[in-house]
Amino acid sequence: MARAIVGGGCFWCVEGVYKDMRGIESALPGYAGGHDPNPTYKSVCNGITGHAEVVEIIFDDSIISYETILEVFFTVHDPTQLNRQGNDIGTQYRSAIFYLDDEQMITAQRVKDDFQQYFDDEIVTEITPVSNYHEAEKNHHNYFQLNPGNGYCQMVVAPKIAKVRHKMAYLY
């Protein structure tokens, strides 16, 4: 199994997109890139830890490639928005790829460069080595599936999932 860590705004949206995708073993919300050794949802949302909300994706790279994981990532969010996604504002919602080795770093930069052609504004996604990763609290796991009636899930998460599933139906 291979591992990828990406942050594209609220982790509920990103996690929901990767769930049920062929080749994905798990997609878990978490926090990465900050300085606090014990981040919590509250401290991360307050913007005091330096962490980004991320999703750790464990995948079978004989079924789905790291490159495809990143293509989904660049489709599910707007990578041209600095430190925000829509109304979610702050560095915790930054667009970020946290790589685990040099090969992932090179692939991430190439995919980012390839996707620039689809955006009028510059892609601001940071590409940095993973640091200080922590899995999020259990009540955030499978949030969309467990809370489909939640207003945020209906207005923000569901449309993002529908967009990716429409554009990349072959992955499900």
Catalytic residues: 10
Amino acid making up residue 11: F
What is residue 21's three-state secondary structure? coil
CB of 39 within 8 A of CB of 92? no
Burial grade of 58 (CB within 10 A; 0-12, 13-18, 19 or more): middle
Contacts of 160 (CB under 8 A, 6+ apart): 13, 16, 17, 76, 77
Q: What dihedral angle (degrees, nearest 10) is formed by the CA atoms of 75, 81, 87, 91?
A: 110
State residue 67 phi and psi, 5-degree precision: -60, -45
**Closest to 96 measured CA to CA, from 81, 118, 86, 114:** 81
